[in-house]
Structure 1
């Protein structure tokens, strides 16, 4: 993600991977009202299809949107190992 620096949205190729960052497409915010950033490091076939943030929204977000929505309203974040 270092290739993106402090940019709130961006897409950059780093070697064979792509670093992707964008704000929540559903405009969700944290408790302080700040936009929720989503950060991804893409490998394999996704790197061939994602060159811009718009590509990432089209190609990546549908892969994770349902999972994110499912945990969004939980009182506590789920433990990653459970």
Structure 2
């Protein structure tokens, strides 16, 4: 059922969000490490990304240096067409 819920999210306006998180290495604070996070989320508040960043701040040792966010709408209303017929060809 995961596919159905993903399609429903996309129709409801969720976007594919990719975040590049730069964080400082706990043992070497002058070094930055990159982490890529990707999920479906809502603009402009990004609740799923915010929840993940809150978790990071609470539970992980590497302090976040910066976050760069990119987003793209996967399904546009003009691209989604309801099928009137469904059949099988043998």
Superposition TM-score tier, normalisation by shorter sequence = 0.3 to 0.5
With CA pairs under 8 Å and 6+ residues apart, which has the higher RCO, 1 or 2?
A: 2
The structure carrying a bigger strand percent of its residues is: 2
TM-score (norm 2): 0.34
Q: Bigger radius of gyration, 1 or 2?
A: 2
TM-score (norm 1): 0.37
